[in-house]
Structure 1
Amino acid sequence: MAASKGWGRWREHSVLPGFGLAMGFTLFYLAAIVLIPLVALALRPWELGVDGVVRTLSEPRVLAALKLSFGASALAAAVNAPLGLLVAWVLVRYDFAGRRLLDALVDLPFALPTAVAGIALTAIYAPNGPIGSLADEVGLKTAFSPLGVFIALLFIGLPFVVRSVQPVLQDLDREVEEAARTLGATDLQRIVQVVLPAVTPALLTGVGLAFARAVGEYGSVIFIAGNLPLVSEIAPLLIIIKLEQYDYAGAAAVGLAMLVISFGALLALNLVQTVISRRGAA
């Protein structure tokens, strides 16, 4: 009886009806789509035993692929942070001819199939391409190298930063900036002390999304990378190779390593975002 009263009091706090059905469907959907596959991924590698998992993840080829995937993804996300902020600033704060077209072009990496993006980037940055040939003249190899991987991840990550920051800039109160100007703040001071604190949480969100997308990117990277073992081979490709060799446990071990590293990086980024948001609220 007491339990039913407690359940009744709990349901009275719900504003909308149908909480039980909605919650049940939510838990079922998340379990079927997210939780069960992750549990299967976490369990499958241990068929090799602890020694087998350690041996698989300590292979030089696996370590090189993980280092390239996460290193290039982190670097691309870091570079996209100021570039995405600049693009969002131009789209929000300036009115010029072609602004709508430029705004639409930002979403092109979203709409473009990843394989098509990879082929296009390869055609441009290959040694016989318009940009690759110029880079080749100064001794810089773009396509078929780690630099090509970085370029592809830079391409697919930019929209995440722009679209995360743009709404915040649109909603930012211009009167606060004008007040700072009235008090004698320079343009740089207004950007650093007024604009950046307001957009930093959204900027970190965009960086996190860009990083998460880049880590698992395959289609747009596979053509421009060159896929040389220990040089320009990404971790998702190594997983595909192990699956083609029927090494399902080994592929799952690499996938589990990617999952753990990605979760740790995103958790750290969320903690930083939470700390910054609390300081801003204080």
Structure 2
Amino acid sequence: MNILPVRKRKRRNIIPGFGLSLGYTMLYVSILVLLPLSMVFINTTTMNWSEFIETITDERVVASYKLSFGTALAAGILNVIFGTIIAWVLVRYPFPGKRIVDGLVDLPFALPTAVAGIALTTLYAPQGWVGQFFDFKIAFTPLGIIIALTFIGLPFVVRTVQPVLQNFNGEVEEASASLGANRLQTFIKVILPELIPAILTGFSLAFARALGEYGSVVFIAGNMPMKTEITPLIIMTKLEQYDYAGATAIATVMLVVSFLLLFIINMIQWVTNRKFLHS
């Protein structure tokens, strides 16, 4: 009796339409993300290596790198601290006007960046409503840039931490308290580990937004070369001078460094999630 080999049945995906959905996703990402980014590198290839190095290592450009990355990092750290506190207050405490405060958190998303920049400059200028009370300058300094970047990046941290706090199981806190832990110990050992992935995500989004921010910063920065000139402004200046290759060369450096920093942050987040799942 001949026994024919039984063909293995191909496992079908539970969710129908996977191939079509994946194809549409890849097409969408390619057209809106990969293609524009590839043009940055393609335009840069019109320069030879010596011109590229000379452009990206210019003293004025290097100073803008330090300012842009330094202020974006400082603003991201501030947003992590105050954004987490705001999310905690909005979730844990009832108070009058809570809905209004919750809505105001999203205001930087809706407000045009130029309007935000003009408003912040009016507030923190030496003769402004807030700046007049300080003996040191806030506007037209790196401190003013940090304030502007903190303003536009705050919602990213609040909106990533807030859902985690809302879904947190209160019984875990009660169990921690019943075992003798005080509030600080409960927060550090029980609540904070669950918040860290959301905090890192919010920091990544706020940091990435701050690196590319232009409208709200250009007014309050003062745009003084070597002091308060951000990298996006130098890129815009080169575009206005029709130096497209120089603009894309600087943009390439920003893109590569930003990608590496975000990759490191995502790796830290992945390691943190793994430790949390295995603990």
Structure 1 and Structure 2 fold alike (TM over 0.5): yes
Give the C-alpha shift of residue 152 in structure 1. Answer: 0.2
Partner of 1:178: 174
1:50 corresponds in structure 2 to 49
CA positional deviation for 1:36: 1.2
* Percent identity (aligned): 53
2:244 is the alignment partner of 1:248: yes
| Residue of structure 2 equivalent to 1:67 | 66
Matches of 1:272 and 1:28, distance apart in 2? 30
- Give the corresponding residue for 2:137: 141
**Partner residue, 2:183:** 187
- AA aligned to 2:114 is A
Tell me which moved more, 41-50 or 66-75: 41-50
Separation in structure 2 between the aligned mates of residue 227 and residue 196 of structure 1, nearest angstrom: 39
Superposed CA offset, 1:50-82 (max 9, x none): 111110011011111111111100110011111
The answer for the alignment partner of 2:265 in structure 1 is 269
Matching residue's letter, 2:52: V
Measured after TM superposition, the shift of residue 103 of structure 1 is 0.5
Hey, what's the Cα distance between the residues in 2 that align with 1:19 and 1:182?
48
Count residues in correspondence.
272
Aligned counterparts of 2:155 and 2:26: Cα–Cα separation in 1? 31
Question: Are residue 28 (structure 1) and residue 45 (structure 2) matched?
Answer: no
- 1:130, distance to aligned residue in structure 2 (A): 1.3
Distance in 2, Cα, partners of 1:244 & 1:44: 16
Q: Does 1:111 align with 2:119?
A: no
For the residues of structure 1 that align with 2:86 and 2:188, how far apart are their CA atoms? 17
- Cα displacement string for residues 55-112 of structure 1 (whole angstroms, at most 9, x for unaligned residues): 0011011111111111100110011111111000000000111111111111111111
C-alpha offsets along residues 126-171 of structure 1, whole Å, 9 cap, x if unaligned?
A: 1111111112xx2x11001111111100101111000000000000
Name the structure 2 match of 1:163.
159
In structure 2, stretches of 5+ residues that fail to align are 1-6
- Supply the AA of the counterpart residue of 1:58: T
**Who is 2:201 aligned against?**
205
The aligned residue for residue 233 of structure 2 is 237
Aligned residue identity for 2:88: W
Q: What stretches of structure 1 move > 4 A for 4+ residues in a row?
A: none
CA distance in 1, matches of 2:213, 2:41: 21
**Aligned equivalents of 1:52, 1:267: Cα separation in 2:** 28
**Aligned-pair distance for 1:19?**
2.4
- Where 1:42 maps in the other structure, the secondary structure is helix
Q: Give, in angstroms, the shift of residue 13 of structure 1.
A: 2.9
Which one-letter code corresponds to 1:167 in the other structure? P
Corresponding residue number in structure 2 for 1:95: 94
Measure the CA separation in 2 of the matches of 1:46 and 1:222: 29
SS of the equivalent of 2:46 reads helix
AA at the equivalent of 1:280: F
Please name the residue that 1:127 is paired with: 126
Equivalent position amino acid for 1:196 in 2: L
Partner of 1:55, secondary structure, is helix
| Structure 1 residue 41: Cα displacement | 0.6
Q: What's the CA shift for 1:15?
A: 2.1
CA distance in 2, matches of 1:24, 1:208: 28
Q: SS at 1:130's partner residue?
A: coil
2:192 pairs with 1:196: yes
Alpha-carbon distance in structure 2 between the residues aligned to 1:238 and 1:38:
19
TM-score, reference length from structure 2: 0.95
Structure having the larger proportion of residues in helix: 1
DSSP-derived class of the 2:16 partner: coil
Aligned to 2:84: 85
CA distance in 1, matches of 2:85, 2:19: 45
CA distance in 2, matches of 1:94, 1:151: 27
Give me the TM-score of the superposition, normalised by structure 1: 0.94
Q: CA RMSD in A?
A: 1.3
